[in-house]
Amino acid sequence: MSEKAPPKIVTLLDQRTVRPSSASLVLGPRQRVVANGLLQDTLHRPLRDLRISVTDRCNFRCSYCMPKEVFNKDYPYLPHASLLNFEEITRIAKQFVAHGVQKIRLTGGEPLLRKNIEILIEQLSALRTVEGAPLDLTLTTNGSLLKRKAQALKAAGLQRITVSLDGLDDDVFRSMNDVDFPVAEVLEGIEAAREAGLGPIKVNMVVKRGTNDHEIIPMARHFKGTGVVLRFIEYMDVGATNGWRMNDVLPSAELVARLQAELPLVALEAASPGETAQRWGYADSHGKHDVHAGEVGVISSVTQAFCGNCNRARLSTEGQLYLCLFASQGYDLLSLIRGDASDADIASAIGRIWLGRTDRYSALRSAQDPSSDSGKRRVEMSYIGG
């Protein structure tokens, strides 16, 4: 018998965010790619991190992600039948793990809105890396449902949690989430996660100049010494609905200088290869890192590209694979998993896609005026997660 032909990979353009293009995309060699944990792209970057969006819905309307004027009652969210079910997600994830993925992060939208997400977490927590170790299984949430769900998430096998929180001032926070949600309930969710043993806990603060940058020092003081790692993220030009302008970006260098003036810091080494955050530890009176005081991180997604060691892939809630947070084009894995493709077929398709990966958007943007391509149509953050 002759060997079964490799399955066709369908190139997808998200019609909600980009215009169709007839340009062909080179997918690399057509022979089968066997998963052995050693996969690298054209820039010799391994595949280690998979972000999985489990829903395109969210109960917040943050201006930098899902502004209310776009994501209103008439917005065409994906129908339930279009979403990957938990067994499909786990099957695809298993093929990524076979290629070397060690970390899976569940995102959204707001992932805790996905009904019975604990079942998915339990399924994913049973997977093992090529070395036989448990996955680093984590989830990013806005914290609104965390107090209610923290214990169940931990019991299902979730290891860590990241909470998005853009300020401690209640008026500022209610204004930024644009649904009048109180900051106190998010803080209660963080405490519930700590008590459940979901840690280390990270808190992500997107900093927008003139909107919440006055909250930097209060946030740092609040979480210092708590064991929570606070990370400041530059306001990003993801998608085309958030009205991004370079003038709204507070560069991480300026942010660190503000922190240093109030809370002396010392630079720390990266925690792992491909880490997006630059780590800064609170300094003691001798200028050394005070481990009890903890650390902060800065993610310089606009002013300092970290494409060179990016090892992340992103799977949308309807089974489309994206190779960059700033991508305009994805690959349809849904048609493979709902067709007659075997696990080996799916693994080979993933391998060919990654082998052909050339994405380095942030590096290219950094070499020019970051505002010059801000009008280009790209996939929305709410669709593939941050």
100: left (phi over 0), alpha (psi -120 to 50) or beta: left
Three-state secondary structure call for residue 139:
strand
Number of structural domains (the chain) is 1
Q: Is there a domain that residue 4 lies in?
A: no
- CA 164/CA 205 separation, integer angstroms: 6
Q: Is there a domain that residue 316 lies in?
A: yes
Say whether pLDDT at 378 is over 90: no
107: which 2 tokens? 């995102």
Q: Is there a domain that residue 235 lies in?
A: yes
Return the closest-CA partner of residue 273 out of 36, 99, 44: 44
Asked if 229 contacts 201 with a C-beta cutoff of 8 angstroms, the reply is yes
Q: Is there a domain that residue 207 lies in?
A: yes
Q: Is there a domain that residue 5 lies in?
A: no
Say whether pLDDT at 361 is over 80: no
Return the closest-CA partner of residue 333 out of 350, 357, 351: 350
Q: What is the tens place of the pLDDT at every residue in 109-143? A: 999 999 999 999 999 999 999 999 999 999 999 99
Q: How far is CA 139 from CA 120, 166, 357, in A?
A: 12, 18, 25
Three-state secondary structure call for residue 297:
strand
Return the closest-CA partner of residue 65 out of 376, 383, 382, 326: 382
Asked if 280 contacts 296 with a C-beta cutoff of 8 angstroms, the reply is yes
Q: Is there a domain that residue 3 lies in?
A: no
Asked if 171 contacts 56 with a C-beta cutoff of 8 angstroms, the reply is no
Higher-scoring residue by pLDDT: 288, 16: 288
- CA 320/CA 298 separation, integer angstroms: 29
Asked if 135 contacts 104 with a C-beta cutoff of 8 angstroms, the reply is yes
Higher-scoring residue by pLDDT: 26, 83: 83
Burial of 69: CB neighbours in 10 Å, binned 0-12, 13-18, 19+: exposed
The alpha carbon of residue 220 and the mean position of all alpha carbons in its chain are separated, in whole angstroms, by 22
- CA 79/CA 56 separation, integer angstroms: 10
H or E stretch at 266: strand 265-267
Please state, rounded to an integer, the average pLDDT across all residues of the chain.
Answer: 86
Q: Is there a domain that residue 2 lies in?
A: no
Res. 205 pLDDT band, cuts 50 70 90: very high
- CA 269/CA 53 separation, integer angstroms: 29
Say whether pLDDT at 20 is over 60: no
Name the pTM for this structure.
0.86
Q: Partners of 373 in the beta sheet?
A: none
Asked if 189 contacts 143 with a C-beta cutoff of 8 angstroms, the reply is yes
Return the closest-CA partner of residue 45 out of 381, 354, 280, 255: 354
Return the closest-CA partner of residue 230 out of 275, 167, 309: 167
pLDDT > 70: what percent of the chain? 83
Q: Classify residue 283 by its DSSP letter.
A: B
What is the structure's pLDDT at 268? 96
- Map tokens 């057509």 to a residue: 30
Structural domain range at position 344: 10-384
- Map tokens 């009008």 to a residue: 375
Asked if 252 contacts 265 with a C-beta cutoff of 8 angstroms, the reply is no
Higher-scoring residue by pLDDT: 303, 69: 69
Q: What is the tens place of the pLDDT at every residue in 297-352? A: 999 878 776 688 899 999 999 999 999 887 778 899 999 999 999 999 999 999 99
CATH number at residue 222: 3.20.20.70
Q: What is the tens place of the pLDDT at every residue in 154-191? A: 999 999 999 999 999 999 899 989 999 999 999 999 99
The alpha carbon of residue 189 and the mean position of all alpha carbons in its chain are separated, in whole angstroms, by 20
Q: Is there a domain that residue 246 lies in?
A: yes
H or E stretch at 97: helix 86-98
358: which 2 tokens? 């050339």
